[in-house]
Chains A and B, each alone.
Chain A
Amino acid sequence: GENVEQHPSTLSVQEGDSAVIKCTYSDSASNYFPWYKQELGKRPQLIIDIRSNVGEKKDQRIAVTLNKTAKHFSLHITETQPEDSAVYFCAGYGNKLVFGAGTILRVKS
């Protein structure tokens, strides 16, 4: 079955810097890759997603890239702000959503 690895497990950045979170997946049939942000005590919120027929997608300060050949995808957050602090989960979807273990992002002001 699908396995999704996520790195790093924790990431601290200075406000205004960029943050990058990387994920790899094992199932070449996976074709949909969402990213979720979960703030403390709140629900996971879908922040961006990408499909396998697209290499990159941007939404304001957030971008996601996908390399199907290498089976990895990454989340890029530019100009980080304190409110970006949260746990971020990547996921891959073949016939079900399989999540990475999460990255705790801390943005220091």
Chain B
Amino acid sequence: EAGVTQFPSHSVIEKGQTVTLRCDPISGHDNLYWYRRVMGKEIKFLLHFVKESKQDESGMPNNRFLAERTGGTYSTLKVQPAELEDSGVYFCASSQGGRRVGQPQHFGDGTRLSIL
């Protein structure tokens, strides 16, 4: 079974530019999550999709961040315009659907985003 895949693995852009990150969850997983880890700090929740719907986007830093999951398969996270403080590693995770609270989440390798 293929795991969660993320693209690109690294992205270096200048302040003010736009970047789009992509996540392909494990096939059949309804739940898709985005997280961010800033250097040396904890992994922080950004948002949660159930299929194509945003279940919880309380962790999104501001309106420069836009996440989509059209069709309920892969997801994109766009940062526009990028600021210096957006640098960090962006992780995607997925878990199965169902009524059980707290399904195990499987992470991708992350995208390391550097804003110059």
* Residues of A participating in the B interface, judged by any CB pair closer than 8 Å: 4, 31-32, 34, 36, 42-46, 49, 51, 89, 91, 93, 95-102
Hey, which chain A residues are within 8 Å of B104, CB to CB? 34, 46, 49
User: Chain A nearest CB: distance from B35 CB in Å?
Assistant: 8
In the complex, residue of chain A having the shortest beta-carbon distance to the beta carbon of B59: A96
In the complex, the answer to whether A42 meets B102 with C-beta atoms within 8 Å is no
- CB-based A-B contact count at 8 angstroms: 51
The prevalent SS among residues of B at the interface is loop
Q: A32-B101, A43-B109, A46-B105 are in contact. Are A102 and B33 (CB under 8 A)?
A: no
Q: Does B56 contact A (CB under 8 A)?
A: yes
User: Chain A nearest CB: distance from B80 CB in Å?
Assistant: 25
Hey, which chain A residues are within 8 Å of B106, CB to CB? 46
Q: A42-B109, A43-B109, A44-B91 are in contact. Are A95 and B45 (CB under 8 A)?
A: no
Hey, which chain A residues are within 8 Å of B48, CB to CB? 96
Size of B's binding interface in residues, CB under 8 A: 23
A31 to B44, CA, bound (A): 19
In the complex, the answer to whether A44 meets B42 with C-beta atoms within 8 Å is no
User: Chain B nearest CB: distance from A95 CB in Å?
Assistant: 7
Closest 5 CB pairs of A and B: A32-B102, A93-B102, A99-B43, A101-B42, A43-B107
In the complex, the answer to whether B43 meets A95 with C-beta atoms within 8 Å is no
User: Chain A nearest CB: distance from B2 CB in Å?
Assistant: 13
Hey, which chain A residues are within 8 Å of B101, CB to CB? 31-32, 93
In the complex, residue of chain B having the shortest beta-carbon distance to the beta carbon of A42: B109
In the complex, the answer to whether A96 meets B105 with C-beta atoms within 8 Å is no
In the complex, the answer to whether B42 meets A99 with C-beta atoms within 8 Å is yes
In the complex, residue of chain A having the shortest beta-carbon distance to the beta carbon of B46: A96
In the complex, the answer to whether B43 meets A44 with C-beta atoms within 8 Å is yes
Q: Does B108 contact A (CB under 8 A)?
A: yes
A103 to B58, CA, bound (A): 26
Hey, which chain B residues are within 8 Å of A43, CB to CB? 3-4, 91, 107-110
